[in-house]
Amino acid sequence: DAGVIQSPRHEVTEMGQEVTLRCKPISGHDYLFWYRQTMMRGLELLIYFNNNVPIDDSGMPEDRFSAKMPNASFSTLKIQPSEPRDSAVYFCASRGPGLTYEQYFGPGTRLTVT
Amino acid sequence: AQSVTQPDIHITVSEGASLELRCNYSYGATPYLFWYVQSPGQGLQLLLKYFSGDTLVQGIKGFEAEFKRSQSSFNLRKPSVHWSDAAEYFCALQTRPGGSYIPTFGRGTSLIVHP
């Protein structure tokens, strides 16, 4: 398996623009998580899905952020409009069924909003 | 609510020296515990995990961790550090079935290895 795939790896955009981050989880995994990592706040859970259904989005900073999972092999995190304070590394992670609870992280998308 | 504390933001060791990274947790019962490593520019990778049984668990890359219930700790150790171990290390906790399935991560400890 190729692991969790995220695209793009780097994104530089101007304030006010829409940004879409993409994630392909490991095949067969039924949980998908979106995290944001910054120096100031560490690793923050934004939202997670179980079987493509959003379960908890309480970590989403504000209405400018939205996430979707239209099928088991694809998820997006969208920021519209983007702001400089959204600059961070965004990780997607997936987890398989059963009782192992191990999360598999993608390589992350480094977002810079100027 | 559960929490994870990694008291050391940075740890500096010389190559070949032993290493211990501290992790303390707060939870009303015995949780599932994990250590992840994040190399520069990479995502997090699982080093080891504790669910039950032997309190000393072995992981990848020569790491081990010991669960101490009385101290609410799960410290990570390695007898001899290699330069390639320089990375960010995260301790994480997850409650057992019946609770949240969401892991709680510590803030991380950055390991610097001097030649």
CA proximity to A91, closest of A23, A12, A13: A23
Output B75 or B28, whichever has higher pLDDT: B75
| Bridge pairing between strands A19-24 and A31-38 | unpaired
Report how far residue B63's alpha carbon sits from residue B57's, in angstroms, rounded to the nearest whole number.
9
Q: Tell me how far CA of residue B71 lies from CA of B48, B50, B59, B92, in angstroms.
A: 19, 15, 21, 16
Q: Tell me how far CA of residue B75 lies from CA of A40, A68, B10, B71, in angstroms.
A: 24, 37, 15, 10
Chain B stretch 1-40, residues whose beta carbon is closer than 8 A to a beta carbon of chain A: 32, 34, 36
Do the chains contact at B101 and A31, CB–CB below 8 Å? yes
Q: Is B44 on the interface with A (CB under 8 A)?
A: yes
Of B49, B51, B105, the CB nearest to A43: B105
In this model, does residue A59 exceed pLDDT 60? yes
Residue type for A18, please?
E
Q: For an interface test with A, which of B101, B104, B109 has the most A Cβ atoms less than 10 Å from its Cβ?
A: B101
DSSP code for B33: E
Q: For an interface test with B, which of A34, A102, A104 has the most B Cβ atoms less than 10 Å from its Cβ?
A: A102
Percentage with pLDDT > 90 across chain B: 77
Output B98 or A114, whichever has higher pLDDT: A114
Q: What is the mean pLDDT of residues B97-112?
A: 82
Sheet strands (E) in A27-80: 31-38, 42-50, 53-56, 65-71, 74-79
Report how far residue A45's alpha carbon sits from residue A47's, in angstroms, rounded to the nearest whole number.
6
Of the pLDDT bands very low, low, confident and very high (cuts 50, 70, 90), residue A99 is: low
In this model, does residue B38 exceed pLDDT 80? yes
Q: How far A73 CA sits from the closest chain B CA (Å)?
A: 19
Tokens of residue B57, six digits: 């668990």
pLDDT at A32: 95
Query: b vs e for A51-80, b when ≥16 Cβ sit within 10 Å of the residue's Cβ?
Result: eeebebeebbeeeebebebeebeebebebe
CA proximity to B37, closest of A85, A97, A105: A105
Which residue of chain A has the CA closest to B48?
Answer: A102
pLDDT at A98: 74
Of the pLDDT bands very low, low, confident and very high (cuts 50, 70, 90), residue B60 is: very high
User: Which residue shows structure tokens 């290895």?
Assistant: B113
